C-alpha cells in the first residue's frame, strides 16, 4: 500500500485517541499541526493546542523511504523502533539531555515526544554565532554516560552480548558505510562537488594511499567494533540547545559500534562550523577569529570533559564492584595503565572518524548548511579545501596526535595556512 503522510486532521484525531497525549495537549477541540521536518529521513510535526501553545508535542514518523530522495530509495519503517529504543535507553541514562517519549506506535512507525520549544538546532545556532556556555559540559556528560553504560566496562558480558544482537540496524548502518566511508572516496554519482573545488583535491581523496588506508581502517572499525550503543549520527543537527539546556535528538542510526564514532561526529561538526566562519562572520562584519577560538575551545573542552567523566564512571564502577575490567583488583597500577591506553586509542578513533565525517560533508550527498550557505564559490572552495586538509591530517596522524590540545593546535595551524582555490 502506498504511504500517505498524515493530513493535519488525521494526525489530530489520532493523537486525541491516545490518553497520555490527549492529557498533555488539553481538551481544546482544535490542534495546530505543522510539518517541520528538515532532516533527511523522516516526517516531523509540531502539534500544539490552539488555545494554549505551551501544550505541545512533537510527532516523528518514518515513511518507507528516505525522505531526502523519495520512493526511489526504500527504507524499512522498522528503523523507528531502533530510534525509540535508543531514546528510551539514552533517556534513562541521561534524562536531562534526551527528550521524553510520551508514546510510540510500532504499527504506524511513529513516536510522540517532548517538544523543545525554547531550543534551536545547534547547527543553526552555531551559524548565527551563538555562544552556549554549557554545551561542552552537557555533550560530554551525554557521551560519557551513554558510551560507558552500553559497554563491557559496565554491563555483564551476557547482557552486553544480548544488547549487541538486539540492536543491529542494518539498513541505516549501510547508509553510513556507503555515504561516510565509501562513496566520498570513489567516483560515485551520489557525490556533489562544489563548483570551484579544485579537481586535484577530489583526486587526492581517491588516490592518496595513506588517506585511503586510514579510511579503510575506520570503516573496518565502524563495521566490526561493537563496543557500545552509539547514537550513530551525532552531528550538530542532532542536538537542540539554548544557553541553559542541551538535548540530543534523532538516534535513528543507533547501533552497537565504536565509541569514537559519536565523539568524532560531534568534534567533526565543531570543526566544520569553525572553518565556515570565514564566510559567516565576514558577511556579518565580524572578525571570524573570536568565534573560531571559542569553537576550538569547545573541541578541547568536550574531549576533556568526556575523558574525565568517562574515566570517573569507570573508576566508580570498579570501586563499587571491587573488580577492574582487566580482571584484577580494582586499584592496581595495571588497571590505570589499561585505562590510559584505552583513552589514547579512543582519541585516535575519535580523530579518524572525525576526518571521515568532515570529508563526507564536503563531497558527499548530504551536506551541511554552514558550508552550503557560503554564497561565494571561491570562499566556499577555500573553506572546503581547509576542511579536507585537516580531515586528512586527522585521519593519517590520528595515532601521533597524543592530546586534544595538539588537535586544536593543528586545526588552528591549518586555518592560518594559505589555501588556493
Ligand atoms: C541519506 S541520509 C544522509 C544522512 O542523513 C543523516 O543525518 C545521516 O548523517 C545520513 O548519513
Ligand atoms: Mg537525523
Over the stretch 179-221, which tens digit does the pLDDT of each residue have? 999 999 999 999 999 999 999 999 999 999 999 999 999 999 9
* C-alpha cell recorded at residue 67: 525522505
3-state secondary structure 26-52: CCCCCEEEEECCCCCCCEEEEEEECCC
94 located within any domain:
yes
The Å distance, Cα 42 to ligand 2 centre, comes to 8
pLDDT (tens digit per residue) in 371-391:
999 999 999 999 999 999 999
In the chain, how many domains are there? 2
Work out the percent of the chain whose per-residue pLDDT is above 90. Answer: 88
How would you class 48 by CB atoms within 10 Å of its CB: exposed for 0-12, middle for 13-18, buried for 19 or more? Answer: buried
Q: What is the number of H-type helices and E-type strands within the chain?
A: 16, 12
Are 71 and 155 contained in the same domain?
no
386-389, long-range: CB < 8 A, 24+ apart: 386/275, 386/414, 386/415, 386/417, 386/419, 387/271, 387/272, 387/275, 387/358, 387/359, 387/361, 387/362, 388/201, 388/204, 388/205, 388/358, 388/359, 388/362, 389/414, 389/417, 389/419
Are 407 and 342 contained in the same domain?
yes
Angle at which helices 377-396 and 404-416 pack, to 10 degrees? 150
**Residue that has been written with the C-alpha cell 572553518 in this structure:** 275
Among residues 91, 114, 137, which one ends one of the domains? 114
The domain containing residue 31 runs over which residues?
Answer: 8-114
Asked whether the beta carbons of 353 and 359 are under 8 A apart, the reply is no
| Residue 202: its H or E element | helix 199-207
| Ligand 1 proximity of 94 Cβ (cutoff 6 Å) | no
Lowest mean pLDDT segment, chosen from 3-7, 242-246, 293-297: 3-7
Among residues 66, 81, 114, which one ends one of the domains? 114
421 located within any domain:
no
- Grade residue 2 by pLDDT with cuts at 50, 70 and 90: confident
Task: Report the CATH number at residue 351.
Answer: 3.90.1200.10
Are 102 and 242 contained in the same domain?
no
- Residues 6 or more apart whose CB falls under 8 angstroms from that of 91 comprise 98, 99, 100, 101
pLDDT (tens digit per residue) in 322-350:
888 777 777 788 889 999 999 999 999 99
Asked whether the beta carbons of 145 and 259 are under 8 A apart, the reply is no
Are 196 and 107 contained in the same domain?
no
1 located within any domain:
no
319 located within any domain:
yes
2 located within any domain:
no
The Å distance, Cα 268 to ligand 2 centre, comes to 16
Task: Report the CATH number at residue 44.
Answer: 3.30.200.20
- Ligand located closest to 249 CA: 2
What number does the ligand 1 atom closest to the CA of 366 have? 3
Among residues 87, 114, 141, which one ends one of the domains? 114
Are 411 and 343 contained in the same domain?
yes
Lowest mean pLDDT segment, chosen from 59-73, 226-240, 262-276, 395-409: 59-73
Lowest mean pLDDT segment, chosen from 24-38, 166-180, 241-255: 24-38
Are 104 and 170 contained in the same domain?
no
Are 90 and 134 contained in the same domain?
no
| Residue 143: its H or E element | helix 135-149
3 located within any domain:
no
168 located within any domain:
yes
Are 135 and 38 contained in the same domain?
no
Identify the sign of the CA torsion 149, 151, 156, 161.
positive
Are 15 and 68 contained in the same domain?
yes
- Ligand located closest to 261 CA: 1
Are 18 and 141 contained in the same domain?
no
Choice from 70, 233, 361, 365 to test ligand 1 binding pocket (greatest atom count within 8 A of CB): 233
pLDDT (tens digit per residue) in 86-130:
999 999 999 999 999 999 999 999 999 999 999 999 999 999 999
Are 110 and 124 contained in the same domain?
no
| Residue 28 pLDDT greater than 70, yes or no | no
DSSP code of 282? H
What number does the ligand 1 atom closest to the CA of 237 have? 7
178 located within any domain:
yes
Are 255 and 341 contained in the same domain?
yes
Q: What's the mean pLDDT when you consider all of the chain?
A: 95
Tell me the residues surrounding ligand 2 (ion) with CB < 5 Å: 39, 250
How would you class 285 by CB atoms within 10 Å of its CB: exposed for 0-12, middle for 13-18, buried for 19 or more? Answer: exposed
DSSP 168-181: --HHHHHHHHHHHH
Amino acid at each position: 500500500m502506498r504511504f500517505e503522510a498524515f493530513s493535519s486532521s488525521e494526525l489530530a484525531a489520532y493523537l486525541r485517541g491516545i490518553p497520555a497525549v490527549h492529557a498533555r495537549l488539553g481538551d481544546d477541540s482544535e490542534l495546530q499541526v505543522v510539518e517541520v521536518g528538515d532532516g533527511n529521513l523522516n516526517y516531523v510535526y509540531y502539534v500544539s493546542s490552539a488555545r494554549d501553545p505551551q501544550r505541545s508535542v512533537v510527532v516523528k514518523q518514518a515513511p518507507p523511504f528516505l525522505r531526502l530522495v523519495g520512493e526511489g530509495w526504500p527504507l524499512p519503517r522498522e528503523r523507528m523502533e531502533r530510534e525509540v529504543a535508543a531514546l528510551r535507553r539514552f533517556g534513562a541514562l541521561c534524562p536531562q539531555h534526551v527528550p521524553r517519549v510520551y508514546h510510540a506506535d510500532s504499527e504506524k512507525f511513529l513516536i510522540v515526544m517532548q517538544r523543545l520549544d525554547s531550543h534551536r538546532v545547534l547547527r543553526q545556532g552555531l551559524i548565527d554565532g551563538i555562544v552556549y556556555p554549557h554545551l561542552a559540559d552537557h555533550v560530554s556528560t551525554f557521551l560519557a554516560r551513554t558510551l560507558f553504560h552500553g559497554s563491557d566496562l559496565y554491563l555483564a558480558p551476557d547482557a552486553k552480548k544480548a544488547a549487541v544482537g538486539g540492536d543491529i540496524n542494518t539498513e541505516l548502518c549501510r547508509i553510513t558505510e556507503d555515504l561516510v566511508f565509501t562513496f566520498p572516496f570513489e567516483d560515485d554519482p551520489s557525490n556533489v562537488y562544489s563548483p570551484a573545488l579544485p579537481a586535484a583535491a577530489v583526486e587526492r581523496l581517491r588516490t592518496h594511499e595513506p588517506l585511503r588506508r586510514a579510511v579503510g581502517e575506520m570503516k573496518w572499525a565502524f563495521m566490526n567494533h561493537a563496543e557500545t550503543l552509539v547514537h550513530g549520527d551525532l552531528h550538530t543537527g542532532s542536538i537542540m540547545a539554548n544557553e541553559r539546556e542541551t538535548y540530543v535528538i534523532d538516534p535513528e542510526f543507533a547501533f552497537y559500534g565504536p565509541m569514537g564514532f559519536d565523539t568524532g561526529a560531534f568534534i567533526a561538526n565543531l570543526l566544520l562550523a569553525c572553518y565556515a566562519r570565514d564566510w559567516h562572520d565576514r558577511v556579518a562584519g565580524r572578525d571570524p577569529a573570536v568565534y573560531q577560538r571559542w569553537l576550538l575551545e569547545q573541541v578541547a573542552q568536550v574531549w576533556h570533559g568526556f575523558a574525565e567523566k568517562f574515566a570517573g564512571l569507570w573508576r566508580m564502577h570498579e570501586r563499587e564492584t571491587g573488580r577492574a575490567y582487566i580482571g584484577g583488583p580494582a586499584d592496581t597500577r595495571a588497571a590505570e595503565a589499561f585505562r590510559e591506553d584505552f583513552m589514547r586509542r579512543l582519541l585516535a578513533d575519535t580523530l579518524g572518524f572525525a576526518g571521515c565525517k568532515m570529508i563526507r560533508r564536503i563531497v558527499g550527498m548530504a551536506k551541511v548548511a554552514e558550508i552550503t550557505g557560503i554564497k561565494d564559490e571561491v570562499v566556499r572552495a577555500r573553506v572546503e579545501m581547509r576542511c579536507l586538509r585537516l580531515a586528512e591530517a586527522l585521519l593519517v596522524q590520528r595515532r601521533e596526535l597524543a592530546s586534544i590540545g595538539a588537535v586544536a593546535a593543528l586545526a588552528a595551524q591549518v586555518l592560518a595556512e594559505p589555501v588556493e582555490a
